[in-house]
């Protein structure tokens, strides 16, 4: 039969284990959020800066963009 001190130690270990599990879950959630943010930034960069570098001034896409830009003014 366990005495009170052993039971308290077991209880503390269980609490510590639960705390570590919670910390692991929080860290994983933050890692997922950071990865999602990285993907959003990369996607927005690709849509804005990436297209401008690929489309030259004489390409049809450039003319269309100029036309759309003027129409928006």
**pLDDT tens for each residue of 30-69:** 999 999 999 998 888 887 776 555 555 555 555 555 555 5
Asked if residue 29 has pLDDT above 60, the reply is yes
Per the CB < 8 A criterion, the answer to whether 5 and 13 are in contact is: no
pLDDT, position 48: 77
Residue with tokens 């927005």: 44
How many residues comprise the chain?
73
Per-residue pLDDT at 26: 92
* Count of other CB atoms within 10 angstroms of residue 5: 8
**Per-residue pLDDT, 32:** 95
Q: Higher pLDDT residue, 12 or 69?
A: 12
Contact 44, 36 (CB under 8 A): no
Note the pLDDT of residue 39. Answer: 92
């Amino acid at each position: 039969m366990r005495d009170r001190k052993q039971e308290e130690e077991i209880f503390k270990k269980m609490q510590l284990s639960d705390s570590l599990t919670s910390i692991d879950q929080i860290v994983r959630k933050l890692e997922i959020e950071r990865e999602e943010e990285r993907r959003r930034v990369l996607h927005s960069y690709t849509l804005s800066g990436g297209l401008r570098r690929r489309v030259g001034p004489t390409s049809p896409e450039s003319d269309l963009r100029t036309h759309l830009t003027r129409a928006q003014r």
